[in-house]
Amino acid sequence: MTGGAAVQPGGRPPLARRVGLWLETRFRTAAAIYGLIVFAAFITIESDHAHDAWDMLDTALWTLLVFYIAHVFAHTLTDHGEHGLVRATLQAMQHAAGMLYAAIPATIVLIVCGMQAVPPDDAYEASMWATVVVLGILGYIAYWRRGAHPLIRLLGAAGTAALGLIIVLLEYAIH
């Protein structure tokens, strides 16, 4: 149940639908959800040692980039025998790109916090709220796509956000 949007003359869907499709193909992927949780865990781990939002962002972004490269490497290694090295690498980069897109909301929050010299604990909390909101939206969309009643969608959104936060905290506890 993706909902139909009227097509404008000339065959193009309305701008809102195109933007929605762009966001959906980048944020509603396994790699993006994994990236979102991993990035939040990196921020959580770094928040114990950070002097400011910039410290959290710096460490979390570099660590996420290493995980992205590892993901691309693994995908390329498993696929290049069938598709060739260049094609396999490009497909792997596209497949793993969601990991990087998923970091955008928390990154924006940390940049704003850094520019306003927000204390590290408050910057951390704000970035976690951004993560929880994204997870909640993804959960809501999943239940909406299944045609669930609006109350079930909201409960699904809350459950998705809570489970994601629990996973982040488990990652933190392990590290």
Distance in angstroms (rounded) separating the CA atoms of residues 108 and 91: 27
Q: Residue 142 in contact with residue 157, Cβ under 8 Å?
A: no
Residue 126 or residue 17, greater confidence: 126
Domain boundaries, the chain: 29-174
**Over the Cα atoms of the chain, what is R_g?**
18
pLDDT in tens, 112-165: 999 999 999 999 999 999 999 888 888 888 888 889 998 998 999 899 889 888
Distance in angstroms (rounded) separating the CA atoms of residues 63 and 43: 10
The predicted model gives 34-52 an average pLDDT of 89
Identity of the residue numbered 154: L
pTM, to two decimals:
0.79
Query: For residue 126, what are its two tokens?
Result: 């704000």
Q: Residue 27 in contact with residue 104, Cβ under 8 Å?
A: no
Phi and psi of 95, rounded to 5°? -60, -40
Q: Residue 121 in contact with residue 53, Cβ under 8 Å?
A: no
Query: For residue 47, what are its two tokens?
Result: 């928040």
